[in-house]
Structure formats: structure tokens, C-alpha cells
Amino acid sequence: MTVHIGAKPGDIAETVLMPGDPYRAKWAAETFLENAVCVNEVRGMLGFTGSWKGNRVTIHGSGMGMPSLSIYTNELIRDYGAQTLIRIGSAGGMQDDVKVRDIVLAMTASTLSTPSSGIFRELNYAPCANYELLSAAAKAAATRDVDTHVGGIYSSDVFYDERPDLVEQLARHGTLAVEMEAAELYTVAARFGRRALAILTISDHLKTGEALPSDQREKSFGDMVEIALEAAFA
């Protein structure tokens, strides 16, 4: 057990999928895993371990934002031996060709700051995905009827952003989407020599204002979970 995770030794698999919402972790575990068992519910942050095609998998919530994700990522790696960590979450589209329901594979994640920024001091560290996972996810996505984009994203440290000038410049420089966790996930994974990737479903669009209705999210998010599982065990 750790301060934030009540799982016993051996309860957490080496492969961990991390949605922000703990109830999405519950849905994904019940939908895609066999014999899923709840292994954590400390502070309401649910985690489940089961199997997918004979491979042990944990699906564990990360909470919203980089500080929350940093806590769970550090403990999952340091105390439970997680080797592969894949964020499965929603994002806001920033390019005209990135549509609602599309999937984004985050090759890099730009950010103003992360909980790890103090380590680097004046250095602008460039968080990036594990290439092996990224390549496997791209191949898995290519077999599905879903438009997929690979490139850079922006990990914001605020939800209600009041920097339209920054969004404009990010979009101008080809940033595909905005979310709130991937940059810290990539940084922590690199620190410990682990594999990490963020697979994101576009749930809304910053330019058009379009948003995915709640009753249509489940199927779109399902594609993302299956791509993550296939990439993890490719």
C-alpha cells in the first residue's frame, strides 16, 4: 500500500491504462477485461486489475491535471513496478482537420509547466512518447474505422484557460489538441525508464465549439481503449 493506492503487492499489473475519470476506469475494466477486480478505491480513485487476451492489465484512474497524475504515476512505477503506462482520455481539438470523435496519438506534449519542472530549472525539457508504443498504436488504429492523427499536443495546467493568444500560437505551430496530463506522464516515465503513451479521443473542438454528446462517448472511447490494449501487447 501507498498513501494514495490501497492495492496489495502483486495487485497491480505491469501494464496500466490510465483514464482521468475513475468511473471511466470502472467502465473500461468491466467492458474490456475478464475477471476484473477492484484493487483500489482510496479517495474514490478506482483501480481494477483483470486480463485481456491472457495478459494482465490494470486500469487505474489518474484524476484531473498533472499534479494528480504525477502522484499516481510515481506510485504505480516506484511501488508497484508498472512498466507500461498508457493514458486514455479526452482532448479538445485545435486543428481544422482534427474532428470530434477522431483519435490523437500524442508524439510530444508541450506545456507551460509540470510538477517536474523544478528538476530541470532553466532547461525546457521535451516530453515525448515511447516510440515502440506509438508505432504499435498507429498500426492498431489503422485497422479501425476511425480517423487518427499523430503529432504534438498541449498539456495545459488549467481547465478554464484565459490565454487565447497561447492557443492561437499553439494551433499555428501544428498542435493537434489540448488535454491536461500527458506531459507529466511522459516525464515521469522517462525518469524511471518506463514506456508511456497518451491516446486521446477528441470530445470537443476549440475552434468550432462542437462537443461529443454524452450518450455517444462510450463507443468513441471504446475504440481508444482497444487501440491502447493492442499497442501494449503488440
pLDDT digits (tens, 9 = 90+) for 212-231: 887 777 667 999 999 999 99
For the chain, the C-alpha Rg in angstroms (whole number) is 16
**Tens digits of per-residue pLDDT, 132-178?**
999 999 999 999 999 999 999 999 999 998 888 999 999 999 999 99
**pLDDT recorded at residue 16:** 98
**3-class state of residue 153 by DSSP:** strand
**pLDDT recorded at residue 76:** 98
Q: Is 118 annotated as a binding residue?
A: no
**Tens digits of per-residue pLDDT, 12-63?**
999 999 999 999 999 999 999 999 999 999 999 999 999 999 999 999 999 9
pTM of the model: 0.96
Cell numbers given for 162:
484565459
Burial 180-206 (b: 16+ CB within 10 A, else e): bbbbbbbbbbbeeebbbbbbbbbbbbb
Residue 189 scores a pLDDT above 90:
yes
Q: Phi and psi for 177 in degrees, rounded to 5?
A: -160, 165
Q: Tell me what the pLDDT averaged over the chain comes to.
A: 96
Query: Which of the residues 161, 204, 215, 223 is marked catalytic?
Result: 204
**Tens digits of per-residue pLDDT, 88-125?**
999 999 999 999 999 999 999 999 999 999 999 999 99
Q: Report the distance separating Cα 34 and Cα 49, nearest Å.
A: 9
Residues 76 and 82 sit within 8 Å (Cβ to Cβ): yes
Q: Which sequence spans correspond to the domains of the chain?
A: 15-232
Q: Is 88 annotated as a binding residue?
A: yes
Residues 35 and 102 sit within 8 Å (Cβ to Cβ): no
Cell numbers given for 80:
508497484
Q: Is 43 annotated as a binding residue?
A: yes
**pLDDT recorded at residue 138:** 98
Residues 206 and 93 sit within 8 Å (Cβ to Cβ): yes
Return the closest-CA partner of residue 178 out of 190, 195, 162, 161.
Answer: 161
Q: Is 24 annotated as a binding residue?
A: yes
Q: Is 161 a catalytic residue?
A: no
Amino acid at 170: L
* Residue recorded with cell 503529432: 151
CATH architecture under which domain 15-232 falls: 3-Layer(aba) Sandwich (3.40)
Question: What integer is the mean pLDDT of 166-192?
Answer: 97
Q: Is 86 annotated as a binding residue?
A: no
**pLDDT recorded at residue 214:** 73
Q: Is 132 annotated as a binding residue?
A: no
Q: Report the distance separating Cα 158 and Cα 65, nearest Å.
A: 8
Burial 127-141 (b: 16+ CB within 10 A, else e): bbbbeebbbbbbebb
Q: Tell me the HSE value of 139 on the side-chain side, using a 13 A CA sphere.
A: 12
H-assigned helices in 113-153: 117-120, 131-142
**pLDDT recorded at residue 137:** 98
**pLDDT recorded at residue 205:** 96
**pLDDT recorded at residue 219:** 67
Run of H or E residues at 38: strand 34-40
Q: Is 204 annotated as a binding residue?
A: yes
